[in-house]
């Protein structure tokens, strides 16, 4: 149980285009999802907290107009990187917290984004 | 927010017990302590979670002293496949889930 999927697992796009990454909780409902990015040899950096049915809360320094987050249902959150640039190339990871009881996050497998 | 401090790296040998300690001096009353394991190019995997004293599951034990200002993840009889980065995370449902630098564990044959 508690499986989180991400799609795509990797994507290459050209500079200036937009890319959407999906995060799904497959066997539980997630009222809260988190989006992280991770550069090589570094820790995960929290980008935003996404709550179902409300606007995402972005961390300081993360541009909300560039990283659009939508949490339209209890099992799906999407991250859209708009007007991507090479510096946006990174490993993007989502996580989901079950609606009640447990406190731990369940992580997706990550999405490798390369912007050329 | 409780900030965590862990050793940057640790080395061990197959079959040994490994203990990784995390300091979290500013832990709040409602915070839980959770440990994750991450392999390269994969999302972190939940290992264990606790609030106080000792928690044990099939893969690890978590020791938390009474003041809860630190915690120790214990991995019994590690193998080469346990080589990974281990993160200690302190927080609760409504707290930001920020990761520290993590501990890079290398298990040698």
The verdict on a CB contact (< 8 Å) between B99 and A44 is yes
Distance between CA atoms of residues B12 and B82, nearest Å:
10
Chain B residues with CB under 8 Å of A102 CB are 49
Q: Which residue has the tokens 């079950």?
A: A98
Strands B18-23 and B70-75: antiparallel
Please give the structure tokens belonging to residue A76. 């799906």
Q: What is the distance in angstroms between the CA of the first residue and the CA of the last residue of chain A?
A: 37
Q: How far is A93 from chain B (nearest CA, A)?
A: 6
pLDDT tens by residue, B79-98 = 999 999 999 998 875 555 77
What mean pLDDT is predicted for residues B16-36?
92
Q: Which residue has the tokens 């080395």?
A: B11
Q: Which of A31, A26, A22 is nearest to A4 (CA)?
A: A26
Choice among A5-14, A27-36, A81-90, B56-65 with the minimum mean pLDDT: A27-36
Q: Which residue has the tokens 């997706």?
A: A108
Distance between CA atoms of residues A9 and A33, nearest Å:
18
Are the C-beta atoms of A38 and A109 separated by less than 8 Å?
no
pLDDT tens by residue, A49-63 = 988 888 899 999 999
* pLDDT for res A59: 92
Q: Which of A23-32, A49-58, A107-116 is most confident? A: A107-116
Choice among A87-101, B1-15, B22-36, B91-105 with the minimum mean pLDDT: B91-105
Region for residue A17 given its phi and psi (left: phi exceeds 0; alpha: psi -120 to 50; beta: otherwise): beta
Residues within 8 A of A (CB atoms), B 2-31 only: none
Full strand arrangement of the beta sheet holding B70-75: B18-23, B70-75, B61-64, B53-56
* pLDDT for res A52: 82
What mean pLDDT is predicted for residues B43-65?
94
Q: How far is A83 from chain B (nearest CA, A)?
A: 24
* pLDDT for res A37: 96
Please give the structure tokens belonging to residue A80. 């859209």
What's the mean per-residue pLDDT of chain B? 91
Residue B76's CB: how many other CB atoms inside 10 A?
12
Residues paired with B37 in a beta bridge: B45, B86
Helix (H, G, I), strand (E, B) or coil at A59: coil
Distance between CA atoms of residues B24 and B63, nearest Å:
13
Q: Which of B87, B92, B100 is nearest to B35 (CA)?
A: B87
Question: Does the structure show a pLDDT above 70 at A99?
Answer: no
Question: Does the structure show a pLDDT above 70 at A103?
Answer: no
* pLDDT for res B94: 53
């Amino acid at each position: 149980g508690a499986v989180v999927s991400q799609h795509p697992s990797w994507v290459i796009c050209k500079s200036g285009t937009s890319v959407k990454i999906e995060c799904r909780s497959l066997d539980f409902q997630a009222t809260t999802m988190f989006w992280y990015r991770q550069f090589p040899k570094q820790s995960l950096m929290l980008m935003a907290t996404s709550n179902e049915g409300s606007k995402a809360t972005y961390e300081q320094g993360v541009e909300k107009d560039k990283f659009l987050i939508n949490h339209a249902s209890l099992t799906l959150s999407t991250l859209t990187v708009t007007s991507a640039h090479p510096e946006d190339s990174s490993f993007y990871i989502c996580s989901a917290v079950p609606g009640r009881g447990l406190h731990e996050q369940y992580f997706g497998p990550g999405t490798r984004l390369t912007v050329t | 927010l409780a900030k965590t401090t862990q050793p940057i790296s640790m080395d061990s040998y197959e079959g040994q017990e490994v203990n990784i300690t995390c300091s979290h001096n500013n832990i709040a009353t409602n915070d839980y302590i959770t440990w994750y394991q991450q392999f390269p190019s994969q999302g972190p995997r939940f290992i264990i979670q606790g609030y106080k004293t000792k928690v044990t599951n099939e893969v690890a034990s978590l020791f938390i002293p009474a003041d809860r200002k630190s915690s120790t993840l214990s991995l019994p009889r590690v193998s080469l496949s346990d080589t990974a980065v281990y993160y200690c995370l302190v927080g609760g449902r409504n707290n930001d889930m920020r990761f520290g630098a993590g501990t890079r564990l290398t298990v040698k044959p």
